[in-house]
Amino acid sequence: MKRSFAIGFILAEFFASAGISIAADAPPAAAASGPAKLAQASDNLPMVPPAKPGVFTAQKRDDSRFHLVVAGHKFTTRSDIEKYLAYRAAELTMEQKASWFTLAESRANGDTAPMPKRDPAGLRYSFRMDYFRPVWRYKTSSSSAWKTWSPFAGAAFISDDAKSITDFEVSADIVLHKGQMDDADPLAFEAGAVSDLLINQVSPPE
């Protein structure tokens, strides 16, 4: 196996310029649009627009634990809003001179979503955005009462018509850490890496 692997590489590397024969079948039509545009370099540093008052709040619960909330009235997508919360969590971590944070999941009795487990022998990550799972509460135009949605309850994401949402709050508890991150913890997030990934993607909700 190894030998064929190595030979294959050498062949590919040193003889890749050799011609490849051409089959006779006619190709089908292209299935999608043309090539994407080249990413353009720019000297303008990325900057996330400042949030309006009340959109983001961070409550310090103890020396290293914070309760974060992103609130708004105009629901866009779950992904956009949760990414903004993750970005603010990363920024807060760095502002506090820490380097990584862990998400303290808000689980309740009866939750069905499996707990992510450590796997020291498996892959290690700087972040796993799939495990950044904040909880939601929201109001719709038909009711002044808050409704909640938890990613751990096993229910599908908000079933109400998105256009009917008049208020929403997305919240997460995080614990800040210094030093080298515990990359075997699936709920650990390296703040710098998260910020780098998200800075060009997020903006505060309205």
Q: Is 148 helix (H, G, I), strand (E, B) or coil?
A: strand
Closest contact distance (angstroms) between CB of 188 and other proteins is 10
User: Would you say 8 or 50 has its CB closer to other proteins?
Assistant: 8
How would you classify residue 107: left for phi > 0, otherwise alpha for psi between -120 and 50, otherwise beta?
beta
CA dihedral 107, 110, 114, 117 (to 10 degrees): 50
Return the structure tokens found at 141.
Answer: 């135009």
Candidates 99, 106, 164, 166: give the one binding other proteins (CB under 8 A): 99
Cα end-to-end distance, the chain, whole Å: 57
Residue 53 interacts with other proteins (CB under 8 A): yes or no: no
Residue 144 interacts with other proteins (CB under 8 A): yes or no: no
Residue 49 interacts with other proteins (CB under 8 A): yes or no: no
User: Would you say 41 or 156 has its CB closer to other proteins?
Assistant: 41
Q: How far apart are CA 184 and CA 188, in angstroms?
A: 8
Interacting residues toward other proteins by CB under 8 A:
1-2, 5-6, 8-9, 12-13, 16-17, 19-46, 79, 97, 99, 120-129, 180-181, 183, 190, 192-193, 196-197, 199-201
